[in-house]
Amino acid sequence: MKTLRTILSGYGCAHCNTWNAKRPGPFNVFDRANRTPPPALPASHRPVKWEQSKPFQHIFADIWGPCKPPGYDESVFISAFKCPVTKKAFGYASPSKGGQHFHLQTVLDDIQSHGFTPETITFHIDCATEYTSEEMKTLLRQYRMRHETGPPYMHEFQAQIEVLWRDMQKIMNSTMRTYDAPLYTWPLAALHAINTVLNVMPNKHIGMDTPHLRYTGRHFDYTELRPFWSECNVWQDPAQRSKAGAKADTSAKLQPKSKPYRYVGNLTPGNYLCLDTSPLSH
């Protein structure tokens, strides 16, 4: 049985300069309007109806970047993993494309800790080489995961993760513009959009439930959600006040019990990630 990639390459490829018999001229994979549809796919390669699948039986992954924000010495990549059944998303930031097996290991451990143990997992990715390392192959064999790669230049097969990138950028733009957040915070805004906002927003594809509800079985407490880059005061324990008092050559009792920070996300429900923006912290 031919694979999907074999069928498409037999239908014409811009790289090998083959021709399509049904449409004159070279086959252009970038011309979506005039792209000749491929022949009927075998049953094993037809699109999956996600509502008939079990949670985390399929996992989509992709990398967004590189981008070098102001104030960063290195470029930043955003890695995302998404379940098409629960719509649960996981986001991570890293300075390189390598080490994706560490992120996948974290996702799998988190899934198991919430009681999801699918018999088989299909890992959907594109043709990126960072998902074909020996460490990644070892991890996939360890969890008996099926490795499915989409054809090149056809992002439709990665639609689940492409929609996530689109929503992430919309949320990033709106939150950073609303509170005039500096540009160096965009990796934090991206992770806030993926790990917090998208997971607590109702989704029409899962009956207007939230991915957080489908994943944890509990409704999210929206009183714990804060606007990105909003001001907050973080309590300082006596040891921190003593250290600050020594620097200022004053008594610890004269130091404030809290310090102004900026909210940049939720680590877990009830645990906030705050950034110290004082000049002494840079």
Residue 280 has what DSSP assignment? Answer: G
Q: Is the same domain home to 157 and 272?
A: no
Q: Which residues pair with 116 in a beta bridge?
A: none
> Where in the sequence is the domain holding 71, given as residue range(s)?
50-220
pLDDT given at position 258: 83
- Domain-embedded: residue 28: yes
Q: Assign residue 77 the CATH number of its domain.
A: 3.30.420.10
Asked if 98 and 199 sit in the same domain, the reply is: yes
Indicate whether 196 and 235 sit together in one domain.
no
Question: Hey, is 115 helix, strand or coil?
Answer: coil
The last residue of a domain, from among 220, 247, 268: 220
What is the torsional sign of CA 246, 251, 252, 256? Answer: negative
How long, in residues, is the chain?
A: 282
Local confidence pLDDT in tens for the 282 residues of the chain: 433 333 333 333 333 333 333 444 444 444 555 555 555 555 545 556 666 789 999 999 999 988 887 777 778 999 999 999 999 999 999 888 888 999 999 999 999 999 998 888 999 988 788 888 888 989 999 988 988 887 777 777 888 899 999 999 999 999 899 888 988 888 999 999 999 999 999 999 899 999 999 999 999 988 888 889 998 888 888 777 776 655 655 665 667 788 889 999 887 767 888 988 876 544
Q: Exposed, middle or buried, 30 (CB in 10 Å: 0-12/13-18/19+)?
A: exposed
Are residue 135 and residue 187 in the same domain, yes or no?
Answer: yes
Co-location of 136 and 199 in the same domain: yes
Residue 188 lies inside a defined structural domain of this protein: yes
Number of separate domains in the chain:
3
Cα(252)–Cα(132) distance, rounded to whole angstroms? 54
Contact 173, 192 (CB under 8 A): no
Q: Assess whether 166 and 192 both reside in one domain.
A: yes
Same domain assignment for residues 194 and 242 = no
Q: What is the pLDDT of residue 198?
A: 94
Does 54 share its domain with 189?
Answer: yes
Q: pTM for the whole thing?
A: 0.77
Residue 102 lies in a domain: yes
Q: What is the pLDDT of residue 118?
A: 86
Same domain for 41 and 54, yes or no, is no
Domain match, 31 and 58 both: no
Same structural domain, 236 and 184: no
Assess if residue 225 is contained within a domain.
no
What CA–CA distance (Å, rounded) separates 276 from 266? 15
DSSP H stretches of helix in the chain: 4-10, 100-113, 134-142, 159-178, 186-192, 198-200, 211-216, 238-248
- Give the residue from 202, 220, 238 where a domain finishes: 220
Please check whether residues 70 and 113 belong to one and the same domain: yes
